[in-house]
Chains A and B, each alone.
Chain A
Amino acid sequence: MDAADRELSFLAESVERTARVQRDAAATYLDSAPRHGVALARHLKGAYDALIAHVQGRRQEFEALPDSEAQQGALTEMRQLVSGARSLHESLSWLDAAAAPPLDLGTRYLVEQMARHLVAPNAEITVVTTTDRSYATVTNPLSQVFALAETEPSMDDALAIVIFVPRREQDSGLLHPLMIHELAHAATARHQLVDGVLDRGGSDPAIERALTEAAEADETSSEEEREAIIDTLRERLARWVEETVCDSVAAALLGPTYLYSFVAVVGTSDLDTAGEDHPSTRQRIRVLLEILDDLGWKETLAGTSEEIDSWCRVTAAKDVIDSDPAARFCANALAQLGDHVCAVVNEHVDDRRLSPDAFREVSDEIDDLLTTGIPPAQRFDDSPIDRAAIILGSWIFAMHEEGGGLAALATAPDVPQLSRLLPKALQSAELLEAWVREKNEAKVS
C-alpha cells in the first residue's frame, strides 16, 4: 500500500464512519415505530446509505486508477465528502425534533393541513427549533446525496419537509404564520411556481433589454464574463421571484395576518438592503399591500390600526433606487412580473384563501370569545371557525390590547391570554372540522 492508498483509506474511513453514525441514528429512530418524522428518517437513511455505497465503490476502484491525476482527484473528492458528511451532522437534531415536536398541537395541525393543501397530500412536516438561523425550510434535504447512488427519492414517497423556527419564537403563536411562507417554498419546488411566473412574463422584451443592459454595465467585462453576469442575474431574479411568490401565497391564504407577522419580524431590518435571495423589505411590503388590497383587505387594514396601515403605506410608497445595478435590475424586473406572480399564486391557492367577507362575519365573535377567555374555535351556531380567521382575530385582539400602534406589532405576540387561547382554539377547530366532515359524510352515505 503506497502513500496515496493510505491517505485514501484514512479519508474514506472518515466519511464512512460519519455517514454510518448519522445513518444509524435514522435507523434506530425508525425501529422505534415513531408517529412523526418517518419520511424524514427514511430519507436520511437512504441518503447516508447512498453515500456509504459511493465511498466503498471509490475505494474499490482506487488502485486501478490510470494515473496520479485521477488519484489526486479521488483524494480531493474524499476530503469534500468528509466535509459534506460532517456538515450534515445537524440532521440528527431533526430526528430529535421529530421525536419531541417543539410546537403546540394546534399549530402543528394547522401547518400539516396547509402542507397538504399547498404542497402535496403526502407531505410530512418536521418543525425544528434552532438558534443559528431564522425561519427557513428545506424539502427532501439530502436529495442530492441520494443522486450519488443514481437513485432519487420517488415522487410517490412522502415528501420530507423540514421547517426551521427560531428557538426564541417557539411559543409565539402570532409569528407562526411565517411558517406558511416556508411551506410555500416547498410548494414552489413541487409545483414549479417560479417557472410558471417566468414562463408567463420572462420573455417580456423590456425585461430582456434590461437584463442585457445590467450585464453590460461594466464595460471592461469580456463576452464570457458578460454571460456569467447574465446567468447570475437570472438566478438571482428567480430567487427573488420565489420569495415574492412565497410572501404572496402566505398573504393570500392568511390575509393581513401575514403582513403583521412579516412586519413584526422583518420590518425591523434595513428597509432598503436587498439580499441575494430576496428583494428589499420595502419592496416586499409593497407587494404584500398590493396583493392584500387586490383581495379586498384595504378596509380591514385601515380599520384595525390606522397607525400600522399608514406606516406600511408610507414605507411602500417611498421609491428608493438601489445603487447596485444587479439589485436595480431585479427590483424593476420583479415589479414588471407582479401581475404574473399574482396570477400564479391565485391559481395555486384557489378557493382556500381567507376572504374579507368571511372574516368580517366572525371577527366580533372571535373578539368576544377572547375577551371572555374562551378559545375562539366555535361560532355561536356551533360551526367551527376558520383557522386563518382565528389567527387574524387573535392578532387584532392582541394589537388592541397593546395600544394598537406600530409598537404593538412587537409586543402583541406576548399578550398572555393568547399563549393559552390561540393554540387551544386552533386545536379545537381542527377537531370540530373533522367532526363536521364525518357528520356530513355519514349523511351522504
Chain B
Amino acid sequence: MDMAFPGREHANPREASAAVNIASFAQDVVLALSRLLHRQAMTERDRRALNRCRALIERLDAREVTLRRPSERSLAADAKTVAVFRAARFARPHRDDLHQTMEVLDRALGGQLEESDLERLSELRETFLSVGRLNLQSMTKHESQDGATSGWTPLIASSLS
C-alpha cells in the first residue's frame, strides 16, 4: 500500500464524524421544514437548524472573490456540508434562487410565512432529502473502498457485474 504523507483523507476519523453530523443536520432541516409546511409550531432545535441552513445558503450566495473570509472560518468544519449541499442542488432539475430562499427562511424564522412561500420550502426540503441520500452514498462508497467494513463487498460487486 502506498504510504504517502499525509495519509488518505477519507480514512481520517474526522471524516466519519463529519458525515454523522451532516446526516443529523440534513434531517433537522427536513423536520423543521416539514413542520412549517404543515403549519406546526417549530421547536428550538428547528430554529437552530434553519439558522444554520440560512448561513449555509448565505455562504453559497456570496459573490466575494477573496481568500480572507474570517467569519467563514468558523464554518471550516462545514466545508463538507457545503460540498454535499451544492451537489444536491446541482442534481435538482432546476435550481432555486438562493437569495429568495434566504428571504423565505427569514420570514419563516420571523413567523411571517406567506402561503406563496410554501412551494419554495417544499423544494428546499427536497434538496435536503437529497443531501441525506448523497451523504449516505458517499459513506457507502468509502466503506467499500476501505474494504474494512465488509469483506463481502468486492465479492457482491463482482457478482453483480
A21: B residues at CB distance < 8 A: none
For residue B12, CB closer than 8 A to chain A, the reply is yes
Interface of A is mostly: helix
Interface size class of B (residues with CB under 8 A): 35 or more
Q: B7–A136 contact, CB under 8 A?
A: yes
For residue B13, CB closer than 8 A to chain A, the reply is yes
User: What are some 22 contacts across the A-B interface (CB < 8 A)?
Assistant: A66-B35, A67-B37, A70-B34, A73-B27, A74-B27, A74-B31, A76-B132, A80-B135, A81-B23, A83-B140, A87-B13, A132-B11, A143-B17, A144-B21, A162-B13, A168-B3, A195-B73, A208-B65, A208-B66, A211-B66, A228-B86, A277-B9
Q: A142–B17 contact, CB under 8 A?
A: yes
Q: A79–B129 contact, CB under 8 A?
A: no
From A80, A135, A211, A266, contact of B136 by CB (8 A): A80
Q: A202–B66 contact, CB under 8 A?
A: yes
**Given contact pairs A67-B34, A80-B132, A237-B67, A88 touches B17 in the complex (Cβ within 8 A):** yes
Q: B129–A73 contact, CB under 8 A?
A: yes
Give the A-B contact count at a CB cut-off of 8 A: 183
| Interface locus among B103-111, B112-120, B141-149, B151-159 | B141-149
A77: B residues at CB distance < 8 A: 23-24, 26-27, 132
Interface of B is mostly: helix
Q: B60–A227 contact, CB under 8 A?
A: yes
A83: B residues at CB distance < 8 A: 19, 136, 139-140, 143
- Which residues of B in the span 80-114 have a Cβ within 8 Å of any Cβ on A? 82-83, 86, 90, 95
Q: A148–B34 contact, CB under 8 A?
A: no
Q: A87–B5 contact, CB under 8 A?
A: no
Question: 7 tightest A-B contacts by CB?
Answer: A133-B7, A202-B67, A80-B23, A202-B68, A84-B20, A87-B16, A73-B30
Kindly supply a per-residue 1/0 record for chain A positions 188-220, scoring 1 wherever the CB is within 8 Å of any chain B CB and 0 otherwise: 000010010011001100011001100100000
What residues make up the interface of A, taking CB atoms closer than 8 Å to B? 47, 51, 54, 58, 61, 65-67, 69-70, 72-74, 76-77, 79-81, 83-88, 90-91, 131-136, 138, 141-145, 147-148, 150, 162, 164, 166, 168, 178, 182, 192, 195, 198-199, 202-203, 207-208, 211-212, 215, 224-225, 227-228, 230-232, 234-235, 237-238, 243, 262, 265-266, 269, 275-278, 333
A203 CA / B5 CA spacing, docked (Å): 30
For residue B160, CB closer than 8 A to chain A, the reply is no
Q: A144–B60 contact, CB under 8 A?
A: no
A147: B residues at CB distance < 8 A: 21
B63: A residues at CB distance < 8 A: 227
Q: B20–A203 contact, CB under 8 A?
A: no
**Given contact pairs A73-B31, A77-B24, A133-B11, A144 touches B17 in the complex (Cβ within 8 A):** yes
What residues make up the interface of B, taking CB atoms closer than 8 Å to A? 1, 3-9, 11-14, 16-24, 26-27, 30-31, 34-35, 37-38, 40, 48, 60, 62-63, 65-70, 73, 76-77, 79, 82-83, 86, 90, 95, 125, 128-129, 132-133, 135-136, 139-140, 142-143, 146, 148-149
**Given contact pairs A134-B5, A144-B17, A54 touches B27 in the complex (Cβ within 8 A):** no
A203 CA / B66 CA spacing, docked (Å): 6
**Given contact pairs A70-B34, A148-B21, A91 touches B148 in the complex (Cβ within 8 A):** no
Q: B73–A192 contact, CB under 8 A?
A: yes
Q: A144–B7 contact, CB under 8 A?
A: no
**Given contact pairs A83-B139, A83-B143, A192-B73, A198 touches B27 in the complex (Cβ within 8 A):** no
**Given contact pairs A66-B37, A83-B140, A166-B3, A138 touches B20 in the complex (Cβ within 8 A):** no
